[in-house]
Amino acid sequence: MSSASFRPKETTILEEYKITDKVLGLGINGKVLECFDRKTGEKYALKVLRDEPKSRREVELHWRACNCQHIVRIINVYHNNFQGVPSLLVVMECMKGGELFTRIQERANSAFTEREAAAIIRDIAVAINHLHNMDIAHRDIKPENLLYTEGNKNGILKLTDFGFAKETNTSKSLKTPCFTPYYAAPEVLGPEKYDTSCDLWSLGVIMYILLCGYPPFYSNHGFAISPGMKRRIRKGEYEFPSPEWNQISKEAKDLIKGLLETNPDKRFTISDVMANPWVGSVVTVPDTPLLSLKNLWKDAVEWYDMQEDMTNALQSMRVDYRYHIKNPKESNNKLILKRMKKP
Ligand code: I85
């Protein structure tokens, strides 16, 4: 980890900020509260994390990555006791415009076009490109983590929540000179392509939903990811049904195909996306009105299910099956525990 970066302030946050009890959102690792700069009166968002290695990693990577137009900025980080718990308090710019799809849905009856969808995908791609160039995989890119700075047309879309972010160039073998790489397998040496490729899959899903208003893969009911959905994702079983997809350009469909490619080795990289004209020169994308507004939010329950499905699908992609070796002492498996007792 390139170290000389983030050092939280040890002074009390209350000297500089007034914290309210308004909750802006709940993340997996911590809640997000509203707070105000005492000097300027400006509103900020405060993410409260328990001080533990996982949170340190989150803040470290977010801090390092946030000098990008399309990533939520960190203003300050404090190391304080918060409600009696040693915590990391992350002061961020306040995203007043709310979530991506809420914003799109709120556009009264004005048309939403393929070109506008391309501009949104380009913004998200810029964030991903910035991260992947720094060897950071976000691994949790989903609609709830894409927020607008403002509720009006000046709003800028930004990515947040680095709770699952991972550094991808930590090839210990290359950095530690006590190891000769004669026998090193390629995956030990190179960056973790599998980690970054999940961000591109996410981009494909978001692009699909923007264009038609429903997700490419869905489960049959609202609970945990269903076997049917898992199978469809693995096999890349999705379609471009009529009437939504009839007017959509071939370029858009080809990009989606490259992003939803099931084999991560063949899936588009972020460089492929940045070089793709549908993303790289948005003005050339046809200004065709989309039918996604009609489909989006037709049913709040369905939308909720979709978000849960995406969370679960990302979760299963993050499982690092290659290096995951369980410590038998931490196992709850009865057979393993029984075997450990034997001489
Ligand atoms: N502002 N995933 C869903 C929010 N400004 N939000 C989530 N992880 C995070 C919440 C649950 C994202 O790391 C999250 C994180 C950070 C934020 C965040 C950061 C900065 C906001 C979990 C708002 C907001 C929305 C509408 C209105 C207003 C604020 O969420 C305001 F009150 F300003 F009008």
For the entire predicted model, the pTM comes to 0.87
Torsion-angle region of 342 (φ positive above 0: left; ψ -120 to 50: alpha; else: beta): beta
**Structural contact between residues 13 and 19, judged by C-beta atoms closer than 8 angstroms:** yes
pLDDT of 3 above 50:
no
Ligand 1, residues 17, 32, 59, 139: which to mutate, most atoms within 8 A of Cβ? 32
228 vs 49 pLDDT, higher one: 49
3-state helix, strand, coil in the chain (%, to 5): 40, 15, 40
Ligand 1, residues 94, 146, 149, 162: which to mutate, most atoms within 8 A of Cβ? 94
Span 122-136, average pLDDT: 97
At 256, is the secondary structure helix, strand, or coil? helix
Segment of 105-109, 144-148, 329-333 carrying the highest mean pLDDT: 144-148
Give the pLDDT band of residue 341 (cuts 50, 70, 90).
low
Distance 152 CA to ligand 1 centre (A): 16
Strand-pair category, 85-93 with 43-50: antiparallel
pLDDT number for residue 186: 62
pLDDT number for residue 195: 87
Q: Provide the 8-state DSSP code for 60.
A: H
Give the pLDDT band of residue 318 (cuts 50, 70, 90).
confident
pLDDT number for residue 59: 96
pLDDT number for residue 141: 96
Lowest model confidence (mean pLDDT) among 205-214, 237-246, 326-335: 326-335
pLDDT of 107 above 60:
yes
Round to whole Å and give the CA distance between 234 and 260.
Answer: 10
Residues near ligand 1 (Cβ within 6 A) = 24-27, 32, 34, 43, 45, 47, 72, 92, 94-96, 98, 144-145, 147, 160-161
* b/e 106-135 (16+ beta carbons within 10 angstroms → b): eeeeeebebbbbbebbbbbbbbbbbbbebb
pLDDT number for residue 334: 61
Q: Provide the 8-state DSSP code for 289.
A: B
Model pLDDT for residues 64-102, shown as the tens digit of each residue: 999 999 999 999 999 999 999 999 999 999 999 999 988
Distance 212 CA to ligand 1 centre (A): 26
pLDDT of 17 above 90:
yes
Span 238-252, average pLDDT: 95
Strand-pair category, 146-148 with 98-99: antiparallel
pLDDT of 61 above 90:
yes
Give the pLDDT band of residue 235 (cuts 50, 70, 90).
confident
Helices (H), 296-333: 300-318
pLDDT number for residue 322: 44
In whole numbers, what is the pLDDT of the chain averaged over residues? 86
pLDDT of 51 above 70:
yes
Segment of 122-136, 158-172, 175-189, 289-303 carrying the highest mean pLDDT: 122-136
Model pLDDT for residues 289-307, shown as the tens digit of each residue: 998 888 876 677 778 888 8
Give the pLDDT band of residue 231 (cuts 50, 70, 90).
confident
pLDDT of 221 above 70:
no
What is the percent of the chain where pLDDT is above 90? Answer: 61
80 vs 222 pLDDT, higher one: 80
Distance 170 CA to ligand 1 centre (A): 30
- Which residue among 140, 161, 195, 305 is the active-site one? 140
Contacts of 51-57 spanning 24+ positions with Cβ under 8 A: 51/79, 51/85, 51/86, 51/87, 51/88, 54/29, 54/163, 55/29, 55/30, 55/88, 56/88, 57/165
Is 320 considered catalytic here? Answer: no
Q: Which atom of ligand 1 lies at the shortest distance from residue 27's CA? A: 22
